[in-house]
Structure formats: C-alpha cells, structure tokens
Structure 1
Amino acid sequence: MCGGELSVCLRGLKQSEDSTDRDTLPVSASHLLIPPETVTMRLISSRARGASFSCLTLVFLLLLHCHHIPGIVGQKSDSALTVVENAEGGGEGEGGDEEKEEMGNLEVLQPTEQWQTLKPGQAVPAGSHVRLNLQTGQREVRLGEEQLKYWTQEHREGEETQSSFSPDELKKAMKKIKEDLNPESVASEYRPLEELKRDMAQLDLLVETDVQIMRRLLDQFNSSNTTTEQRLSILLELEYLVHQVDNAQTLCSMGGLQFILGGLNSSDFRLQESSAFVLGSALASNPVVQVKAVESGALQTLLTILATAQPLSVKKKVLFAVASLLRHFPYAQHNFLSHGGLQVLSELFRADGGGVLRTRIVTMLYDMISEKELISQAGLDPVLDASHEERVQQYSKVSLEEELLEKGWCNMVPQLLESTEHDYREKALRALLAMAPTCVDQYRSDGSLLGFLLSLRDQYQEMVQSEMILGEENSYFSEIVELIDALQVKMK
C-alpha cells in the first residue's frame, strides 16, 4: 500500500519537474467527482518512463521510512487531488458504499464558463475541466467542452422558447383584435362632443369653433371699449383665420367686411395697414369674397387710399389687396379701369423712387395681361367648361392694352430696368415682353432702351460665364439673358 502511494507521488514529482515552464496542469475529470481531501493525483508523464533507475532509488529510500509513518496510510491530504469514480459509474467492491456516502457529504461547486478556485471541501460535477495552478497552488475548475457546448445550446433554445407564443396567448390576442375592431366598442371609448363641452365648461374651459371665434372677435372689434391695440390684435387673428376659404366667406356673411372697410377709413395708419392685410388675405383665390367686396365698394376705397398721401407700409398692403381683388376677376378689372385705376397707379409709379411699389405695380399689370392672353389662347381649343365663353366675353370688355398705351406705360415700365435689384429687372423684362404686342413701336423709337438692353445682356452674360466656370448651369442669370434676347427679337 505504501509502495503504491509512493509510486504515484514519484510520478507527480517527475511531472512537476517536467512542467516548470507551465503555470497550470490540466486534469481530466470526465465522469468523475473530485473530493478535495484526497492524497494523490494522477499526473503521468511519458518522460517518467525513461527515468526508472531514479524512481527505484527513491522508492528504496522511502520504504525504509514507511514503518515510521504508518498513520499516514488511509489519511487524505488537503493539498492533493484524487480521481474518484462517479457514483453512477457503479464502482464495485466493499468500498463502494463508503465512497458513495463520503461523496454525498461533499459540497458540489457548480462550474461556469470562467475559471473558479476550488476550495477544500468542494467537489465538481462529472465532465468538468479541472486544472492545478502551479503559481498559486490552487485548484481551478470550469465547464468542460461538452458541458459548455450543451449549456450554450440549451440557453439559446430557452431564449427561442421564451420568444414564441403559446396557442392560448395567440387566441387571446386574436380575441382582443376583434374586440378593438368592433364599432360599438370603439364608440364606447369616446365621449360625445357635447358632453365634453359640458365638462370643460364646468372646468372653466371654452372650446370654440372658428365661426364662434370670428363672432367673438367682431363683437370685440365693434365695442366702444376696445382700444386701438386690441383692435390691431383682433385684425391679426382674423388675418390668420381668413386664409381658409370657408372662414373668409363666413366672415363676410357675418358683416365682417364692413368692419374691415371701416378700418381702411380709419385715421390711424396702423389700422389701415392691418385692415388692408386682412382684406387681401380674404380676397385671395376666393371668388365669393371678391364679388361681395366689389359690391361693397371696396375697390373705390382702396383706390382712394392709394391716391392720397399715406405711409409706404400702408400703400404696400393696399396694393396687395387690390391685386388680390383683380386677379382672375375680369369684372373687377373692368371696374378698376373705368374708375381710373391705371391713372392712380401711374402717379404712384412716378412718385416711388425706391422701386418697391414700382415692382408690385408692374407685377400686377403683368398678371392682368397674362390672364387675358391665356383665356384667348384657351379659346382656340375645345370648350373646357360651360362658363368658358362667358369668361372670354368678360375679358373682352377689359380694354387693358389701350389703357396702357394711352397712359404712357410703354415708356414707364422700362424705367424699372435701371434698378440694381436683379428681381426688379426680371419682373420688368417679363412685363415688357407681355406688353410688346401693344408697345413694340414705342420700344423701337426709344433708342436708350435698345442700348440699355445691350449693356444689360453683356453684364449678365459675364455672370453666366463666371457661374459656368464654377460648375453651375441653368442659373438665374441665364434666364435673364434669355428674357433680354427674347425682347430684342420682338424689337427687330
């Protein structure tokens, strides 16, 4: 018995000598449980077989001392490692039951993917990977290769199982969807508007429609207790609301148009400006309001303001209202000409030195000429709708070209080319092209106009070339050059 233990110890000693360059020694624990109190460890090295003489010598010396250490036989060391067969392996013999009882009293350490220190009194499950750390003298354990592979697969399958739904859960979800799609259940989740209004009224909250808001604003505007600042604030709110076609028409039906015209006649230029702004926004692309405005005398009021001394800000907003009233409305254009509208605009054009009003006036004239031309061109095609002939007849009554020639606009519009603003020049060129059928003789007789066009073309051609060098094509300046070329063709 002593000799067997000594041979194992010698094998472990020889293995330790051959492994001085390594920190740890692996020990297979497959299908085994490892108790910490064992005395020996199987550390077999192939090089030990080549050193049989040294082993025999050491065995002889140690045998001499075996009778001095009889108490060691059968004892277990805390620093050694013994490989014990697994209980499931069915070890036979008299010691089998004792070993099973002994293993039942051990504390089993459950290994993980990381190395853990195996303390005395602990054992590990079968298949674990155990090693001896020669630097610290501690035993370390982790999951074996087969255990690690099995644990990873089991963990992944567990996640997949958790992400799936059971048949009962799917049935409950389908039932919930059907309940949500039921109109009665949907309606039951919402409360009627009147009930919400009552509840909000109790909370001192007021829900108003646009109609109610405009009614309240008009009442406040007409009140004698309302200050000028409050009226300006009311007009600002109304301007926001009348951008909607229905709101603008509703405002007129409430009598709001009269209040706005009253603001235009106010002695406070701020009320005049804000009222003109509201009127222009309500008239834009709204034929119903355009008709009511003409019937209410809004055109005469606007022309009167333009003909009198007013701040620039007021005249800008009034021109906006006039343009909104005349656009796509030949009846209003006819009244505009019959009430001397072009004469008023010509005086305003000559008085404006900065070009802001001039640009707005020229743009308005260009729109009127283009509308009439488009209607005449559409007349060459099949009838688009039942009212087409009526519109053609109404535009035929608008003698705009004769008025432009008579009031001297053929010589006034080219003056806008002298501006340094590219936008002003572009609008002037477009207006000159639209007026060319009527004013071509005046253009040809104006020597300064032809020379100025040549100078402008050279200027913008240089800008186009500069942009082409920078890799820019189809620029804004190239469009201006095209307009100049087209006008020069008309003048030839």
Structure 2
Amino acid sequence: MSNVYGRPCSCSEVRKMLVLWMLSLLIAVAASENSQSGLTVLEDSGSDGTGHDEAHVNDEFDDEDLEVFQPTNQWQTLKPGQAVPRGSHVRLNLQTGQREAKLGEEQQARYLRDGQRAVNTKTPSFTAQELKETLKLFKEGVDDPTHPQRREEEEALKAKFRPLEELKRDLAELDMRVESDVEIMRRLITKFNSSDATVEERVKALHDLEYLVHQVDNAQNLVSMGGMKLVISALNSSDFGLQGNAAFVLGSAISSNPSVQVDVTEGGALLKLLTLLATPRPVPVKKKALFAVASLLRHFPYAQGHFLKLGGMQVLVDLFQTPGGEALRIRIVTLIYDMIVEKELISQSGMDQIPDSSYQERLRQYSEVALLPVLAEQGWCRLVPALLASSEHDWREKALRTLLAMMPCCQAEFRQDRALSLSLGDLQTQYRELVLTEKDLGDEEGYFGEILVLLDTVALKMQ
C-alpha cells in the first residue's frame, strides 16, 4: 500500500489511518443522533471500560413535556423527550442506538447510596399543563381559594363589615336626609324665637347662624325669612352673650353684601350698635359691636352719612379714650383710615374704571359725607398720634398711614404738636438702625424700610 507520495506504507501508518477512519465514523453517527434528539453532546474523558465514550448532555426544555429523568449511579436508557438534570453523564450506545444517562460525580455525593435505585429528592416532576396553570394563577395574583388560610381571611374580612342589605334597612328606618342651608337657618330661627329656649340655646343658635351667613345667598335668605329682624332685636337683650353674638351675626351677614347692608341700616341696627359702644359693656361685646359697625360703614356711603348724623364719630372718640380699651384703638383707627381712603379712590376716576349709573350714585353719596372736617373738629388730629407710642410695629404703621390720610385737615395742628415732632425723630433713628440690620441679613426692601419711608414722608409734610 502506497501513500500519497508514491512510497509503500508501513504497518504503523496503516493502523493510524484505520483509527482515524473509525473516529470519523463515530463523530458522524453522534452528530446525526444529536440533531434528532435535541441534545448537546459533550465528550467526556471518562470511560466505563466498554470502549464507548461517555458524553455530558444539556437537554433543552420541551414546552409540551417537562418530565425529568431520575438518574442513578447506573447507566439507564433515556426515553424520547425526557429532560436530564444538570451535572448528569449522557452517552450514546452505538450497539443499541439508544441514549443512556447516569449520575455525575458531584451528584453521587448528594444522592442515596444504599444499593437500591438512587432517587433525586429535590427535583420534582411536573407536567407541562400543571406548570402552565400554576404560572397563570401566579400572574393573576390568585391563590388557592380552597386553602384554609384563605378561607379564614375571607371570614375575618366579612366579620368587619355589615351586609349591604342590612345597612339599607337601617338607613330606611332612620329616614336620614341632608338638610339644606335654608332649612338649617329656618330651624335655628325657630329655636331662637321659641319661648321655651334657654339663653344658652339661643346663643348657640346665633353662633350657628354666624357660620352660615358668611355666604352672600344665605345672608339674603336670612333677611327674606325674617330672621334678621330677630337678630337686630337681640341687640337690646339684657344678656351680654346674646348682645355680642347678635352683633357678630350682623357683622358677618353685611360684610361686602350691599343689599343686606341696606336692610340692616333701614332696620335701625346702626343706632342699637352705637348704643352698645357708648354704654358700659364688656370688651368682648364692644369688639363684636365695633366689627358690625365697621362692616356696615365700609364701601357704603349711605350708612356713613347716617353714622355721622347719629354722632358716631363722637362715640368712637369716647371709646378710644376709655381705660382698658387699648385693643379697640387700632380697630377704630383702621376704620377711619379705610373710610378716608375709599372716598379718595372713588373720587379719582382711573383710566381702568368705566363710570356707570351706580358709580355716579356712589360718587354723589360720598360727596355728602364730610368726614375730614368732622375728624378735625372732634380731636382726631390729637388722638391718632398717640398710637406712635406703642411698641407694636403694626400699630405704628397704621397710625402713620392714618396721619398721612388726615394731613389735609390736620397739617397745621401736626406742625404745632411738639410731642409729635419728637416722636417722629426718635422713631426715624430707631428704624434707620433696624433697616441696616435688615440689609445685613440680605433684605434690601424689608418691612422696617417701609415704616421708615412713612416716617420720612410724614416728617416732610409737617415742615
């Protein structure tokens, strides 16, 4: 036998060629079996002495049948479609053409060795349908409804709530319904006007009414149903609690409500309120009465004219100087400032304002209210500067703004007031230091700076 170079082949060369030819044949047969079984065959260095090479096979999952083969320490024939656990040895028996598998070296240390068939106790066997159903329940978040724990949880949940039919039956027996605001006010008025009602019950009825009449419609409904007359009559009560709460209801009802302001003014409430302010009453009662007067006068020149005719400013002068009435002083000064400023604003027809018939009527009514001359006549040019002695920055600010508003009628008197000039000088020095402190803290346009501007403006106009 000659080789490719034309020279005779030796016996050793012939044997080598036969071995290579047999290995090629084995590889071809293994590749054919591997393509049909879906197994990946890896050659292993181990041999069982039969001349057949062992193979380590990784089986791919079969979607239709996931039955797992249970290997032992002996070679066993694999059935078609069986999955082999990781770490097992797999070989192809060339004599029978069947695949065989057994435990790997690492697996044998974890499995039983009692001479019987070794069983993998950690790898359960499931069918494809069982796995699909379990996965479906897992995705939906549904557990087994027949599980005892699930049944106990359901029973505990039912015990916390009453059945719907039972609740409907109980509500029908109670005949529950929601009252409207009008119904509530009518019930409160009936209770307030009842001869059997105690003072405490009547006070509570007024307290509940005050909460409701903040709404414009409710206040108007209170007038239409006759409730406002009862509230005004309560101002004449001998009980301080009824007086104060009645004044509180009036103040809340007439605030920014022109139609109710007219009804209350024509109903004689202003005179009764001034009586409460001019006669000895507890400070809480006077606070509520002053609140009602301020609500009635603001933006309502018709009531302001009646107020001046009834001597209202003189009543406020006496109240301002009453010992123990310090808490009322700032409220009085604020009311005076608001009345002066709103008349000035209504008299200055701005570019953004469109005059109409109501505007012309308000302008006429304001022209009949001679507020500044009355203020100068009754000594307010001397009373307002007294608030500058307060330690409260807010009181000082409101006093300075009122001084500026009163400047047209009080300028001459301010210039002659030596105490006022000294007070302004001391406050200018104090607030200049406070402004520097604000600037050090990074506040260039702070609150103290605003007060300092007011002080400088008042001092400049007094020169």
**Is the aligned partner of 1:375 residue 2:377?**
no
User: Shift of the alpha carbon at 1:103?
Assistant: 3.3
Aligned pairs for 1:293-442 (under 5 A) are 293-353=264-324, 355-378=326-349, 384-442=355-413
Residues 333 and 398 in structure 1, CA contact (< 8 A), matched pair in contact too: yes
1:246-270 Cα distance to aligned partner (Å, 9 max, x none): 1101101111111111222111111
Q: Which residue is equivalent to 1:247?
A: 218
Q: Which amino acid aligns with 2:418?
A: G
Q: For residue 371 of structure 1, what is the amino acid of its counterpart?
A: E
User: Is residue 104 from structure 1 mapped to residue 75 from structure 2 by the alignment?
Assistant: no
Do the aligned partners of 1:352 and 1:358 also contact (CA within 8 Å) in 2? no
Whole-Å separation in 2 of the counterparts to 1:471 and 1:132: 80
The amino acid of 1:420's aligned partner reads: S
Aligned partner of 1:435: which letter? M
Structure 2 counterpart of 1:473, one-letter code: E
Offset at 1:102? 3.9
Give the distance between the partners of 1:102 and 1:280, measured in 2 at CA: 101
The whole-number CA distance in structure 1 between the counterparts of 2:328 and 2:192 is: 30
1:443 partner letter: F
Q: Is the 8 A contact 2:210 2:249 kept in 1?
A: yes
Q: Which residue in the other structure is 1:219 paired with?
A: 190
The partner residue of 2:429 within 453, 458, 464 is 458
- Aligned residue for 2:23? none
Distance 1:237 1:453, change over 3 A: same
The equivalent residue for 2:44 is 42
**2:57–2:89 contact (8 Å) kept in structure 1:** no
Distance 1:324 1:41, change over 3 A: same
- Tell whether the 8 Å contact from 2:319 to 2:325 is kept in structure 1 after alignment: no
Superposition deviation, residue 300 in structure 1: 0.2
- 1:82 Cα shift? 2.8
Contact map agreement 2:387 2:396 (CA 8 A) in 1: yes
Distance 1:355 1:108, change over 3 A: same
AA aligned to 1:42 is D
Q: Take 2:183 and 2:263, find their aligned partners in 1: how far apart are those partners? A: 22
User: Quick one: which amino acid aligns to residue 250 of structure 1?
Assistant: N
Counterparts of 1:132 and 1:218, CA distance in 2: 96
Task: After superposition, give the CA deviation of every residue in 1:411-433 in whole Å (9 maximum; x if it has no partner).
Answer: 11101111111111111111111
> Residue 43 of structure 1 aligns to a residue in which SS?
strand
**Secondary structure at 2:248's aligned position in 1?**
helix
- The corresponding residue for 1:469 is 440
- C-alpha distance in 2 between matches for 1:274 and 1:85: 91
Report the alpha carbon displacement of residue 132 of structure 1 after superposing the two structures with TM: 6.9
Aligned counterparts of 2:335 and 2:318: Cα–Cα separation in 1: 15
> What do you get for the CA RMSD once the two structures are aligned?
3.7
| Contact 2:206-2:249 within 8 A present in 1 as well | yes
2:56 and 2:90 in contact (8 A); partners too: no
Equivalent residues in 2 for 1:229-240 (5 A)? 229-240=200-211
Of residues 243, 248, 252 in structure 2, which corresponds to 1:277? 248
Using a 3 Å threshold, how does the CA distance of structure 1 residues 384 and 134 change in structure 2: closer, same or farther?
A: same
Judge conservation of contact 1:31–1:85 (CA < 8 Å) in 2.
no
Query: In the aligned structure 1, how far is the partner of 2:224 from the partner of 2:176?
Result: 28
Per-residue deviation, 1:475: 1.3
Unaligned runs of 5+ in 2: 1-18, 20-32, 60-75, 92-102, 112-138, 140-169
Cα 1:366–1:481, aligned 2, differ >3 Å: closer, same or farther? same
- 1:14-66 C-alpha deviation (Å, 9 max, x unpaired): xxxxxxxxxxxxxxx9859699xx9x95339xxxxxxxxxxxxxxxxxxxxxx
The structure that is helix-richer by fraction is: 1
Structure-to-structure mapping, 1:90-129, within 5 angstroms: 102-104=77-79, 107-109=82-84, 116-118=86-88
Residue 82 of structure 1 corresponds to: 55
CA contact (8 A) 1:260 1:278 kept: yes
**Residues in 2 aligned to 1:263 and 1:384: alpha-carbon distance in whole angstroms:** 40
1:34–1:81 Cα contact (<8 Å) kept? no
Which residue does 2:262 correspond to in 1?
A: 291
Q: State the 1:201 CA deviation.
A: 6.8
CA distance in 1, matches of 2:278, 2:341: 26
CA distance in 2 between counterparts of 1:481 and 1:262 reads: 47
User: How far is the alpha carbon of 1:355 from its aligned partner?
Assistant: 2.5
Structure 1 residues 30 and 324: alpha-carbon distance in aligned structure 2, compared to 1, 3 A threshold: farther
Deviation of 1:473 after TM superposition, in Å, equals 2.6
**CA distances 1:63-116 after superposition (whole Å, capped 9, x unpaired):** xxxxxxxxx86599xxx9436899xxxxxxxxxxxxxx943268423x7xxxx4
Q: What is the TM-score when the length of structure 2 is the normalising length? A: 0.68
Q: Distance in 1 between matches of 2:247 and 2:196?
A: 23
Q: CA deviation at 1:390?
A: 1.6
Relative distance call for 1:41 and 1:272 in structure 2 (3 A) is: same
Mapped partners of 1:431, 1:84: distance in 2: 100
**Deviations 1:182-207 (CA, angstroms, capped at 9, x unpaired):** xxxxxxxxxxxxxxxxx977542132
The question of whether the paired residues in 1 share the 8 Å contact of 2:320 and 2:328 is answered with yes
Between the aligned partners of 1:353 and 1:457, the Cα distance in structure 2 is 29
Contact residue 32 and residue 85 of structure 1 kept, 8 A:
no
Letter in 1 for 2:79: G
Per the alignment, do residues 133 and 422 of structure 1 end up closer, same or farther by CA in structure 2, a change over 3 Å counting? farther
Q: Aligned to 1:42, what secondary structure does the other structure show?
A: strand
User: Structure 1 429/275 Cα, relative in aligned 2: closer, same or farther at 3 Å?
Assistant: same
What amino acid sits opposite 1:440 in the alignment? Q
1-structure distance, mates of 2:243, 2:364: 35
User: Structure 1: which 5+ residue stretches go unaligned?
Assistant: 1-6, 8-28, 45-71, 87-100, 122-130, 140-161, 163-198
Which residue identity is paired with 2:55? T
Q: What CA distance in whole angstroms lies between the structure 2 residues aligned with 1:292 and 1:440?
A: 39
Deviations 1:422-466 (A, max 9, x none): 111111111111000110000001011011001011111111111
- C-alpha change, 1:136 and 1:453, in structure 2 (3 Å) is farther
Structure 2 residue identity aligned to 1:108: A
Q: CA separation of 1:378/1:81 partners in 2, compared to 1, >3 Å: closer, same or farther?
A: same
